[in-house]
Structure formats: structure tokens, C-alpha cells
Amino acid sequence: MPTNAAVRTVLVPAAGLGTRMLPATKAVPKELLTLVDRPIIQYGVEEAVQSGVRRVVLVTNPGNTLTASHFAPAPALEAELAARGKPDLLADVRALTALADVATVHQPEPLGLGHAVLCGRDAVGDAPFAVMLPDDIIDADPPALRQMLDIFAEYGGPVLLVERVPHDAVHRYGIIAAEPIRHGVYRVTDLVEKPAAADAPSDLAIIGRYVLTPDLFPTLAATERGAGGEIQLTDGLRQLLRSRPIYACALNGTRLDAGNRSGFLKATIHFASKQPALAADLRETLDSIPVPAAGA
């Protein structure tokens, strides 16, 4: 059933400890690590804005004030750039402040993605909303979130972004069972968090983007801790599935997991190669790196 309710808010869970990227994340939140010329978090915020959603609520731990400050005014820096006659850099800094309406809520304990979403309940209110995981950076046209919002507007139910993953990787994801509606669109029939390969209902993994409805909140509030001793968003969605349809959108684009060292390196190369000023030097550098001999 189509809905007339627009998605106006995106929650960005960013309260993790960044353990996969230590020691780089000892003092700097993982979402502020720089990919080429801007931090990880900015890619996600830009995707939200390009998808038509300008209100961004960061879900951070209470000690993290740095992430929100990236989008806040910086009067001293702006004055110095103006005094030095650097109008282009000044415009870039000021554009960050105007990019989106950024607010922050706190997740007092690292109790899982479902708990992080629940912490945003008051900020969202009684309205549909999106969730974007900043580690999953997606290069797509139209933006991945826009692809999902179009499906949400058509069907009126929660939408999960999915892509096929190798069989030996399903244990790292929430996995759906689903019935195809048309090319790239599914109706979800079941969800399971991080199943063993032998128990996975498919190879369709949920990846970093959700369009959700406010009736999920009471379900999450009643969800017990699951995998890893955390409140899993997948478990809450599985309960919600008993009372309403949930849909899935197959990603049309490229996903890069910047939350681990290998993925971060691949994401850096991917986005650097798209910048003409960097691409040639990057290719020359990569071609000059000797390939270790087998067994070395």
C-alpha cells in the first residue's frame, strides 16, 4: 500500500569503538578517518542530501564531540582562511555547515545496532525514517538511499538494501529469505542475523541502509539481546515482519566497506581513481609497486 509520508530524517549510528581500525581510532572516531579528501561520515551525509533527506541525526557515544563538529561552524578557521585569501577553501568549509541539518543523540552503552536505532526514537518521532551505516560507502547513481525511497513510496513498507555475497561470507551479515516482486525488488519472508552458511536462507545480505517505519520502535524496545549479546536490528525486523510486509531493494551500485583496513584501502583507491587530478599519479604508483614472488 503506497504511503504519502515522506522520509525526512536519517539516523547514522556512529557509537562504535572502531576496534577493527585500531590504533588509528584510539583518539579519532572511525567515521572521521579520511578517505581521499573528506572523512567517511561525509560520504554518507552527502548521499542522504542527494537523496532528498537533509535532517541527519548522529547516534554517538557520550564522549564523542568530534563527529558533529565536522559539520559545525568554525569561525576561527574561516577567519584565517579569509585573511590568507583562500576563498575556495573558505567556501568548502562553509559548505559543510550548510550541507545538512545535523543533530546528535547519545547511545550510552554499545548494545548493538537495534539499540542505537532505539536511541533515536525521540529524534525521529512518529514518522518514517532512514538508517545509514557510515562504514558502508556506496557509489551509485541514483544514490542508494534514493533507490530505496522510491520503493518505499511505492509499497509503503520498510525497505532493506541488499546485495548478494559469497556463500562463505553470509555469517557476517543479516540475511533475508525473499520472494521476487520484479527485477531488483523483493518481498521479505524471513530474516536471520549472521547465520552459519549451512543455515542461511539465501545469499542476499542486508547492507548498511534501511528505510523504516515508527512501528518498529515498540518492537525493538521488546527485543531481547541476540547475537553477540546485543539488541540486533535484524531481530526486531523479524518480529515486525509478523505484522506488516517488509521489502528489499537490490543495490544498483558499488558498495565499499571502509570499516576494516582492506576495505578502507579499496575505498581510498576507488574514490581517488575518480578524481582526474589524482587518477594518473595513482595508476603510476600502483604500477610501480613490485608484486611479491609466490611464497615470498
CB 162 within 8 A of CB 255: no
Q: For residue 240, what is the domain's CATH number?
A: 3.90.550.10
- Would you say residue 292 lies in a domain? no
Query: Cα–Cα distance between 202 and 167 in angstroms, integer?
Result: 9
- Would you say residue 96 lies in a domain? yes
Instruction: Compute CA distances 166 → 202, 210, 255, 258, whole Å.
Output: 10, 21, 14, 18
Q: Which domain holds residue 264?
A: 9-279
Total domains, the chain: 1
pLDDT at position 2 is 43
Query: Cα–Cα distance between 275 and 54 in angstroms, integer?
Result: 26
pLDDT at position 42 is 95
- Would you say residue 3 lies in a domain? no
- Would you say residue 228 lies in a domain? yes
- Would you say residue 56 lies in a domain? yes
Residues written for the chain: 296
- Would you say residue 273 lies in a domain? yes
Neighbours of 233 (CB within 10 A): 29
CB 68 within 8 A of CB 102: yes
- Would you say residue 294 lies in a domain? no
pLDDT at position 227 is 73
Average pLDDT, 10 consecutive residues per value, the chain (296 residues):
73 85 86 92 96 96 90 94 94 93 92 93 95 95 96 95 93 93 96 90 94 95 82 92 95 93 92 87 85 67
| pTM check: above 0.75 | yes
The set of cell numbers assigned to 73 is 561552524
pLDDT at position 202 is 94
pLDDT at position 89 is 93
